[in-house]
A = this chain, B = another copy of it.
Amino acid sequence: MSVIAFIGLGQMGAPMASNLLKQGHSLRVYDVDPQAVNALEEKGAVATSSPAHAAKDAEFVITMLPNGEVVNAVLFGSNGVCETLSSDALVIDMSTIHPLQTDRLMAQMRQRGFSMMDVPVGRTSDNAISGTLLLLAGGTEQQVKRATPVLMAMGSELINAGGPGMGIRVKLINNYMSIALNALSAEAATLCEALGLDLQVALNVMSGTAAGKGHFTTTWPNKVLKGDLSPAFMIDLAHKDLGIALDVANQLHVPMPLGAASREVYSQARAAGRGREDWSAILEQVRTSAGLRHPLSRINKE
Contact = CB atoms under 8 A, between A and B. Distances in A.
Q: How many copies are assembled?
A: 4
Given A161-B197, A286-B255, A179 B267 contact: no
Contact of A185 (B191, B238, B261, B283): B283
B257 A265 contact: yes
Interface stretch (A32-40, A108-116, A289-297): A289-297
Interface in A149-201: 157, 159-162, 166, 169-201
A285 interface: yes
A176 B262 CA distance: 10
Interface in A186-222: 186-217, 219-220
Contacts of A107: none
A288 to B, nearest CB: 9
Interface residues of A, number: 115
B262 A189 contact: no
B190 A286 contact: yes
A282 interface: yes
B176 A191 contact: yes
Tell me which of A186, A196, A200, A285 has the highest count of chain B C-beta atoms within 10 A of its own C-beta: A186
A282 to B, nearest CB: 5
A18 interface: no
Contacts of A300: 198-200
A261 B261 contact: yes
A25 interface: no
Q: List 10 A-B pairs, minimum CB-CB distance, nearest first.
A: A271-B291, A177-B211, A178-B211, A260-B260, A176-B245, A253-B271, A186-B286, A183-B262, A257-B261, A180-B262
Interface of A: 96, 98-100, 122, 124, 134, 136, 157, 159-162, 166, 169-217, 219-220, 232-233, 238-239, 241-245, 247-268, 270-273, 275, 279-280, 282-283, 285-287, 289-292, 299-300, 302
22 contacts: A172-B244, A172-B248, A173-B191, A173-B197, A175-B245, A176-B191, A176-B245, A182-B215, A183-B286, A185-B215, A186-B265, A194-B292, A199-B299, A206-B214, A213-B213, A213-B214, A254-B267, A255-B264, A255-B268, A256-B264, A257-B257, A257-B264
